[in-house]
Structure 1
Amino acid sequence: MAEIRIRNTNERIKGEQAVGEFLAQFDVIYEHWDPSKLREGLREKFTLTDEEKQEILDTFDAEIRDLAGRRGYRTWDIITLSEATPNLEELLAKFENVHTHTEDEVRAITAGKGIFIIKGNDEVGYFDVELEAGDVISVPEYTPHFFTLMDNKQIVAVRLFIETEGWIAHPHNDPTFVK
């Protein structure tokens, strides 16, 4: 279940309803899918074949199509990151800069853990949304944010896009952001 840490105060927000309500004030969509639907052999597997990726997409097809229908997403895929990913540190360095997109950035976590760091309003500042299997998040277009992995550096996620070529990051220079 997702958990939020507000960086300015170190306050933590827990529980599906409280997390959802907090994120909704910033137009961030939060949902929870049932990760137990996934075959047990895929629940903690971070190096996947194309067939296994398709199995994950097939398992969550109804949820994906529901979200896509509500938000206008037209394409989706699976991303896997782990110590087995070539050039993982370089890839993470690319992700770990505050940026925006011209469309929502959506992740449905099917295995592992990750963190979205999102800019709230002036009062809240930046906050971390710690995600695990079953958590689904959609960060709205033009919202400053970035995504990174947790200490275990393992994640599998469904990504949904409006643009068929995927999203493009636009750097967001923010002197108020502190890593």
Structure 2
Amino acid sequence: MAEIRIRNTGERISGFENVKAFLDKQNVLHERWDMSKLPEHLREKFVLTDEEKAEVLASFDEEIKDLAARRGYQIWDLISLSDQTPNIEELLKKFEQVHTHTEDEIRAITAGKGIFIIKSDEIGYFDVELEAGDVISVPENTNHFFTLMDNRQIVAVRLFIEKDGWIAYNVDDPEYVKA
């Protein structure tokens, strides 16, 4: 279940209702998917064949289509990252740059853990630590980035409005301090 860490104060927010209430105030969508729908053999697997990726997407087809219909997403895919991912260090350096997009950035975590670092006008940067079942959508034009947590393993559904996906516009923000 997602947990929040406010960087300026170190305060932590946990529990679905508390996290959702906090993220609602930031205009960040947060939902939970039922992970029991995912076949057991895929729950902790981080190197996936194309067939296994299709199986993960099929497991959550109803949830994906519902989210797409509610929020205008047109296409989706599945990303799988781990230490076995070619060029993982280069990818992480690219990911760990504060940026914005002209559309929401959404992830539904199906295995592993990840973290969004998001900027709020009111409180500065905060971390949203995510695990399997967590769905999050960072609003367009919001400073943020997504990266892996210490376990360095994640599988996530990504949804897009534009067929070419998100275009990142890097932001040099002096308020962001790497923690």
The TM-score by the shorter chain falls in which range?
over 0.9
> How far did residue 54 of structure 1 move?
0.5
> 1:173 matched to which residue of 2?
172
> 2:10 matched to which residue of 1?
10
Q: How many angstroms apart in 2 are the aligned matches of 1:78 and 1:162?
A: 15
- Normalising by structure 1, report the TM-score: 0.98
1:1-179 → structure 2 map (5 Å cutoff): 1-122=1-122, 124-179=123-178
Q: How many angstroms apart in 1 are the aligned matches of 2:121 and 2:6?
A: 12
> How far did residue 35 of structure 1 move?
1.0
Runs of 4+ in 1 over 2 A off after TM superposition: none
SS at 1:90 equivalent:
helix
> How far did residue 36 of structure 1 move?
1.5
Unaligned runs of 5+ in 1: none
- Normalising by structure 2, report the TM-score: 0.98
SS at 2:41 equivalent:
helix
SS at 2:20 equivalent:
helix
Task: Count how many residue pairs are aligned between Structure 1 and Structure 2.
Answer: 178
RMSD of aligned Cα (Å)? 0.6
Provide Cα deviations, 1:83-124, integer angstroms capped at 9, x if missing partner.
0000101000000010000000000000000000000123x1
Structure 2 letter corresponding to 1:131: L
SS at 2:147 equivalent:
strand
Structure 2 letter corresponding to 1:167: W
